[in-house]
Amino acid sequence: MTDSLTELLHKAATTAAEFRAGLPERRVAAAADLDALRSAFTAPLPDSPTPPSEVVDELVRAAEPGITANAGPRFFGFVIGGGLPAATAADMLAIGWDQCAFNGVLAPAAIAAEETAAAWIKQLLGIPATASAGFVTGAQEANTVGLGAARHHVLATAGWDVERDGLIGAPRVRVVAGEERHATIDRALRVLGFGDSVLELVPADGNGAMDVAQLERVLADGEPGPLIVCLQAGNVNTGACDPIGEASDIVHRHGGWVHVDGAFGLWAAANPRTAHMVEGIEKADSWGCDAHKWLNVPYDSGFAFVSRPEVHAASMSHSAAYLTGSTEQVTGSSFVLGSSRRGRGFAVWAALRELGREGVADLVDRCCRHARHFAEVLTAGGARIVNDVVLNQVLVDVNADADAVAAAVREEGTCWLGATTWRGQRLLRISVSNYATTTADIERSAEAILRVAERVRAETAG
């Protein structure tokens, strides 16, 4: 049994390694669409067992045409990293070890890896060392956890126990956010029982960052009481960051809680050339951030940090008589929404160990340089760059139907990108966040975008 399992895992690892090795030249978009993949996977449920080796072979045959090369160097459609070598290998080990990282009694290695990785991340991002950390699935859970902690704190300060009594009859909580917030904020508010109509919006400047003068006005116009303000590090379209330090000072003068959605933009703090964009980050009360974006850790991996660990645990933890260690230790699942959770910390620890402080800074800086070069090459080819390229995001007007151009670029196969709406205009959106992307990848992709856009314009005119 052991030998057959070893052989099976070697086969899977070899297949994965060959896929990763082929990414630089692989067609980026999947070769087959969803309907074709449904046909490939659809089959009657077998009556009898199938040998595991045959199952793996069948899976590879069915899935391979539908695998997108989003781990590769020319995927620019979302802020998606590529899985650093050490992080990828560590994630494979995590799957093999199959730890349930509920707490340090059940999975001491998994929790120890999380604790050290969290300490390293807080150093890199400028988050207070005393903040608690939950290893979550991504920015959606991170924002939900952070806002859950905020809900607990502001209502407890007002004399209300929301965990015991819920929101019915509770003091009204004001929730303020920028008009350019990410959609995960709205979704978190729905999940937490506030509803997204509670939002009071603050206008943004021309590149999408919150206008602090308008923040002051919005806060002054409202009634005093429980207050949560959501700030953003890294606008999903432009990369712009709200003035976090200045805004936090204003919010705290009004007695509020500051949550920062920093899914990818918080990593600007790790690079000396971009750290000014998130100056004052330590003044916030909670932070959400991803590892599977700019840190290039495999999916799914993110962090929820809270300045007050006791608030974090009070809003998220639970215990039961059968959950060994749940009353003795405040670790692992005490800080997240799930109990049955894999050992995400292994891959994060490995990524940070591989890169070190200088490597993380270089990764962020290199992606920003690539984004600027992308903009320069596209501009030279006749396109118009709509945003200030302050981080790794580029908005492009190619004087053609953006959705048609994006679809045609994906079909052409050189790179993968999508379209977005910015200030009422449909544009191409480019995100550069893969550790393996080179200058040659940027120039090859820009040439393909310009060529395809010209063809789409000609077809439309025709």
Q: Which helix (H) or strand (E) holds 324?
A: none
Q: What range defines the domain where residue 336 resides?
A: 89-350
Q: Which helix (H) or strand (E) holds 81?
A: none
In a domain, 310, yes or no: yes
Q: What is the pLDDT of residues 294-326, one digit of tens each?
A: 999 999 999 999 999 999 999 998 877 787 877
Residue reference for tokens 């000609």: 458
Q: What is the pLDDT of residues 390-420, one digit of tens each?
A: 999 999 999 999 999 999 999 999 999 999 9
CB 28 within 8 A of CB 416: yes
Residues in the chain: 462
The CATH number of the domain holding residue 187 is 3.40.640.10
Residue reference for tokens 């290695």: 109
In a domain, 99, yes or no: yes
With 60 as the cut, is the pLDDT of residue 72 above it?
Answer: yes
For 41-58, what is the mean pLDDT?
A: 96
For 184-206, what is the mean pLDDT?
A: 97
Order the strands of the 302-306 sheet from edge to edge: 132-136, 302-306, 286-290, 257-261, 227-232, 174-178, 199-202
With 90 as the cut, is the pLDDT of residue 127 above it?
Answer: yes
With 90 as the cut, is the pLDDT of residue 331 above it?
Answer: no
For 94-102, what is the mean pLDDT?
A: 94
- 393-397 and 199-202 strand pairing: unpaired
In a domain, 221, yes or no: yes
- 227-232 and 257-261 strand pairing: parallel
In a domain, 6, yes or no: no
CA angle at residue 167 from 147 to 191, to 5 degrees?
A: 45
pLDDT confidence bin for 122, thresholds 50/70/90: very high
CB burial class (10 A; 0-12, 13-18, 19+) of residue 460?
Answer: exposed
With 90 as the cut, is the pLDDT of residue 59 above it?
Answer: yes
| pLDDT score for 236 | 96
| pLDDT score for 330 | 83
| pLDDT score for 337 | 95
CB 412 within 8 A of CB 452: yes
Residue among 321, 385, 330 nearest 103 (CA): 330
3-class DSSP string for 378-395: HHHCCCEECCCCCCCEEE
Percentage of the chain lying above the pLDDT 70 cut: 100
In a domain, 7, yes or no: no
In a domain, 432, yes or no: no
With 90 as the cut, is the pLDDT of residue 329 above it?
Answer: no
Beta bridge partners of 75: 416
| pLDDT score for 2 | 62
In a domain, 461, yes or no: no
pLDDT confidence bin for 462, thresholds 50/70/90: confident
Order the strands of the 384-385 sheet from edge to edge: 384-385, 393-397, 425-431, 418-422
Separation of alpha carbons 241 and 284, rounded Å? 14
Number of domains in the chain: 1
Separation of alpha carbons 68 and 80, rounded Å? 12
Separation of alpha carbons 436 and 372, rounded Å? 17
Separation of alpha carbons 2 and 112, rounded Å? 29
| pLDDT score for 323 | 78
| pLDDT score for 316 | 95
| pLDDT score for 19 | 96
With 70 as the cut, is the pLDDT of residue 1 above it?
Answer: no
- Cis ω for the linkage preceding 401 (within 30 of 0): no
Q: What is the pLDDT of residues 232-282, one digit of tens each?
A: 999 999 999 999 999 999 999 999 999 999 999 999 999 999 999 999 999
Percentage of the chain lying above the pLDDT 90 cut: 93
Q: What is the pLDDT of residues 348-358, one digit of tens each?
A: 999 999 999 99
Separation of alpha carbons 261 and 146, rounded Å? 9
With 70 as the cut, is the pLDDT of residue 167 above it?
Answer: yes
Question: What is the rounded average pLDDT for all residues in the chain?
Answer: 96
For 177-185, what is the mean pLDDT?
A: 97
| pLDDT score for 268 | 98
| pLDDT score for 328 | 72
For 432-438, what is the mean pLDDT?
A: 98
| pLDDT score for 33 | 95
In a domain, 362, yes or no: no
| pLDDT score for 137 | 96
With 60 as the cut, is the pLDDT of residue 215 above it?
Answer: yes
Separation of alpha carbons 439 and 441, rounded Å? 5
Q: What is the pTM of this model?
A: 0.96
In the chain, DSSP finds a helix count (H) and a strand count (E) of 14, 11
| pLDDT score for 57 | 97
CB 360 within 8 A of CB 369: no
Sign of the Cα torsion 332, 160, 284, 435 reads: positive
Separation of alpha carbons 51 and 427, rounded Å? 49
Residue reference for tokens 């997108």: 68
| pLDDT score for 246 | 98
Instruction: For residue 35, give Cα distances in angstroms to 31, 66, 297.
Output: 12, 10, 30
